[in-house]
Structure 1
């Protein structure tokens, strides 16, 4: 079996690592000249870490995502008001289920785990044949036994998919950044919510802070706006919206290199795909189920996809009328589509609640957060993390 993977993001590289370690020849094609990732953070929850464990990468991910010594059980986590008063706090046991890592560090772990020459950069893919085996690539077509399309929310492969819903604006815009040096966040981590505004604080292992700022936009904004618009980048728009909020928000933004603060519209799939499989081509990660980041599950679901697909493709007990490989990719679709589409719906709903702009809706949101028992909030936070990789 020979596998071609389109896209050198987290999901594509994780799939390549798992297959290669199982002895499957893999080639990864990346349209960019380099396979680097954005300079922001990603929260690896229990399910994402379980997927990395199944791929043999769990210890390395936990090492770069260890909580720094200054953040312990006395550091509160949860959701606050702009003045710093707490709406809800999560038990420390919930904090222990997440490892916040820099995307570049996770990308490095994945790339280092691959054999030299696995990733071919500067080779964009234009289309895949109906049987899902031949990819039209810059430099000429190539044929594989399985093709994995992990080429992101704007997937070129998905555009030819039956029932592709396209993408739409979620109604808000985000800025993300990582401070250049440690910032004291022992007063609290998590999210702060206002009327149509949200700011998140998540410490990295070395004391630097990954942060995000979210601002609601008018409905119907056009999708596909290029990230990095000069008028929207940098600390100016962030401080204009959040500069008067509680400490250390202003300190965190000030500690971030201005050129590293980029704005982008938050987008999602405009509907549910009827299938993640077309012949022997499967969609993976954002190409299959691009969701809003409100549950922090985009990257974690891509890792689940990767671990599931690797286990199924390398499981010799799987068989079907059309052959083992066809049965494996059909089973991948059966397992992954319901879970990922359900989580995408939950993330979209949560985003509408957290981005409430009206005085009454924002008041109702804050009241609901304030009167939710911590144990109930913890169960909700942990529910989405319940996942086990298939035995392979």
Structure 2
């Protein structure tokens, strides 16, 4: 049983960290969030929440959950309608639907908007890059996080919610914490379009997720990211995710990354081809990699250090599970910490219980990897988890 009042140090102000903090605050459990960023990152993307939405509602205060629609790329899209239209996977050559996954409700959320929204009312300290962790002597004596600005935070438990390259995970596991790069070329970039093309895309694409698997063993998805001015389609922001195998002996264009993508679109169905053709020539496509971390057990040091979200199970996006699992982690962690605060369950027992669930949820990393590889193996695509599981949770946890 702990010898001091609970205080949780959440490292990372991303989706998992913010959801955990709200759950703790809602239950009057002291916390602080620290984040290495001093300003918002210039990268943006969207996440899809389906089965985890009821869990998120439990964690957030009513005012934030009731206004979550403002975080959507299209704030006018109804969640039930989005659930009915579902998540669409097309044949990249014909544009015909190969499979659709549906839920009672779906929220597609712009991550930058969501982080700003979820930050409201929380104690977040920015510019705190973790450099070390120290365990106080004794079984229940707490833990201290040290930062590169010379400051520190002391509490009962540190939660590493600091992403796929987690510093907390590296402290726990050393080189075993390093992520693995998949053998794929990967593009992730945003852009605007001429008004007529933007209107056509908005009308014809699936409003939540619209992706294609092409016979050339290539994946491409086109997504809405933001509508800053509903009345001016030329301001709408879209983004593309695309992958193909690094061993692909096909076209390797000597020019820009956009030139290479365009050269690979010749046999794609018209809508996606037109979109890529109309991406501005000066768009920046930064080098990128798909990275995963296959969850392995960690020593939580008698309940004083654990992991959540991408830090606990870093996976690819092809099955849309990362955001949902981050919320599931947050819900389970908060529930177990409540048992320490209210029921006097020993901290180690509570965090051990949480860690077992997080480890089980880590099975999704391999399933998502298989989905990523399946998009690059068109002939066998219909044997993949995309068809067998859709985007439902892989296991009951």
State the TM-score, normalized to the length of structure 2. 0.77
Cα separation, partners in 2 of 1:51 and 1:241, compared to 1, 3 Å = farther
What residue in structure 1 maps to residue 362 of structure 2? 341
Alignment of structure 1 residues 172-191 onto 2, 5 Å: 172-180=184-192, 182-185=198-201, 186-189=203-206, 190-191=210-211
3-state secondary structure, aligned to 1:291? coil
Q: Secondary structure at the match of 1:347?
A: helix
After TM superposition, give the deviation of residue 266 of structure 1 in Å: 0.1
* Correspondent of 2:154 among 143, 146, 151: 143
Check 1:347–1:199 CA distance in 2 against 1; reply closer, same or farther (3 A cut): same
Following superposition of structure 1 onto structure 2, how do residues 246-257 of structure 1 map, counting pairs within 5 Å? 246-253=269-276, 254-255=278-279
Report the 3-state secondary structure (helix = DSSP H, G, I; strand = E; otherwise coil) of the residue aligned with 1:278.
Answer: coil
Classify the secondary structure of the residue corresponding to 2:204: coil
1:296 aligns with 2:327: no
CA–CA separation in structure 1 for the residues paired with 2:82 and 2:162: 38
1:245 match: 268
Deviation at 1:54, TM superposition (A): 1.4
- Equivalent positions of 1:94-113 (< 5 A) are 94=102, 97-113=105-121
- 1:269-321 deviations in Å (ceiling 9; x for gaps): 1x43113733311111111111121211112211211122122212355444x
Deviations 1:92-141 (A, max 9, x none): xx165422121111111111242xxx222222101222467111212133
Residue 198 (structure 1) aligned with residue 198 (structure 2): no
Task: Give CA-to-partner distance per residue, 1:237-260, whole Å, 9 cap, x none.
Answer: 332323652232244443579545
Aligned to 2:14: 9
Q: Paired residue for 1:364?
A: 380
Which residues in structure 2 correspond to 1:366-385 (within 5 Å)?
Answer: 368=383, 377=387, 380-381=389-390, 383-384=392-393
Q: Is the 8 A contact 1:35 1:121 kept in 2?
A: no
- Point out where structure 2 has 5 or more consecutive residues left out of the alignment: 1-5, 137-141, 228-235, 249-253
Query: Partners in 1 of 2:169 and 2:115 — Cα distance?
Result: 24
1:72-221 matches, cutoff 5 A: 78-86=88-96, 88-90=98-100, 94=102, 97-114=105-122, 118-130=123-135, 133-138=143-148, 139-162=150-173, 164-180=176-192, 182-185=198-201, 186-189=203-206, 190-194=210-214, 195-203=216-224, 206=227, 208-218=237-247
Aligned residues: 353
Cα distance change of structure 1 residues 385 and 244 upon mapping to structure 2, 3 Å threshold = same
What is aligned with 1:52?
A: 56
**Contact 1:50/1:58, CA 8 A, preserved across alignment:** no
Given that residues 4 and 147 in structure 1 are in contact (C-alpha distance below 8 angstroms), is that contact kept between their aligned partners in structure 2? yes
1:272–1:175 distance in 2 versus 1, CA, 3 Å: same
CA distance in 1 between counterparts of 2:110 and 2:308 reads 22
Contact 2:10 2:32 in 1 (8 A): yes
CA drift at 1:217:
1.6
| Structure-1 separation of matches of 2:167 and 2:83 | 45
Q: Structure 2 CA distance, aligned partners of 1:200 and 1:327?
A: 43
Partner residue, 2:139 = none
Distance 1:192 1:24 in 2: 45
- CA distance, structure 1, for counterparts of residue 255 and residue 337 of structure 2: 44
Change (3 A) 1:95 1:245: farther
Cα shift readout 1:330-368 (whole Å, capped 9, x = no counterpart): 221122221x21211211112222212xxxxx32325x5
How far apart are the structure 1 equivalents of 2:91 and 2:166? Answer: 38
Q: Which runs of 5+ in 1 are unaligned?
A: 220-230, 357-361
What RMSD in Å do the two structures reach over aligned CA positions? 3.4
Question: Which residue of 351, 370, 374 corresponds with 1:353?
Answer: 374
